[in-house]
Amino acid sequence: MYKIIYKKCLNDFVTMMDVEAPLVARKAEPGQFIILRVDENGERIPLTIAGFDRDQGTVRIIFQVVGATTTKLSHKNVGEYLSDFVGPLGTPTHTEGLKKVCIVGGGVGCAIALPVAQKLHAMGCEVHGIIGFRSKDLLILEDEFRACCNQLTVMTDDGSYGRQGVVTLPLEEAIQAGEAYDEVLAIGPLIMMKFVVATTKPYQVKTIVSMNPIMIDGTGMCGGCRLTVGGETKFACVDGPDFDGFAVDFDEAMQRGSIYNDYERHAYRETCNLFAKEVE
């Protein structure tokens, strides 16, 4: 059992938790993920590690309530326990030798991008950050990004905060202005990452994307997280989650990601009804 020792709501839909998991914290690196179960009857879901404290033995997760399991997880409070918390899984984000990087985060994907930005900053890398949200109400982690980015641009779709527009706008402006990035790292919705790649590819700026497909066991055995990368089948849980953005088949990934939408909506409604009855 894994104890929740800290909980904070970042906005109406996104929650941060620190979980006591010393063995995971000891080995965790930015870019890796864990798989958890809320209770012994729950489903397994992957969540990228959003931070860790080796001394305290804690691992930070940040998640958006989008389905049945994240709804259950959001109802857990400090002092309560999670049934399973397995990791670290996946390959850490490559950071060695990078001198100048642009990190592009979209929505809750910013929670994944932050520890990478923090590590690069600590290594002396020049970090430019671009983070995008639908509106000001959904903004998260701005102060944390400002602390580890040499430059930070905040974008909102509706213009309610920062600049209005999509994240590819300031990215292309920076490239055209002569910013020579060793690498662009994009983390967010598939459609966002697809268009980041479409922006950088004409300039041949190396672009890494963090893929988050459907995942079950996290060890490469189930095949649920398979992707086509460079014409070959890869598994996000063991080969990734980071991949060369120029080689990823985003259209296939988006199609596979929608397979279980109907089932997920049904499970979400059942869970919401269950909590409603408990309140009554």
Q: Give the model confidence (pLDDT) of 261-276 as tens digits.
A: 565 565 556 555 555 5
Q: Residue 66 has which token pair?
A: 């989008």
The confidence score (pLDDT) of residue 188 equals 93
Residue 13 CA to chain centroid, in angstroms? 15
The confidence score (pLDDT) of residue 277 equals 52
The confidence score (pLDDT) of residue 222 equals 79
The confidence score (pLDDT) of residue 274 equals 54
Question: Cα separation of 274 and 128, whole Å?
Answer: 44
Cβ neighbours of residue 116 closer than 8 Å, sequence gap 6 or more: 30, 31, 93, 95, 103, 185, 187
The confidence score (pLDDT) of residue 279 equals 47
The confidence score (pLDDT) of residue 66 equals 85
Under 8 Å between Cβ of 47 and 63: yes
| DSSP class per residue in 40-84 | TTSPPEEEEEEEEETTTTEEEEEEE--SHHHHHHHT--TT-EESE
State which residues of the chain have pLDDT below 50. 279-280
- Going along the chain from its start, the domains and CATH numbers come out as 2-89 (2.40.30.10), 100-210 (3.40.50.80)
pTM, to two decimals: 0.85
Cβ neighbours of residue 81 closer than 8 Å, sequence gap 6 or more: 1, 2, 3, 4
Question: Distances in Å between the alpha carbon of 138 and those of 15, 115, 226, 262?
Answer: 12, 19, 30, 25
Summarize pLDDT for 4-32 with one digit per residue, the tens: 999 999 998 999 999 999 999 999 999 99
Q: Residue 252 has which token pair?
A: 């296939």
The confidence score (pLDDT) of residue 190 equals 93
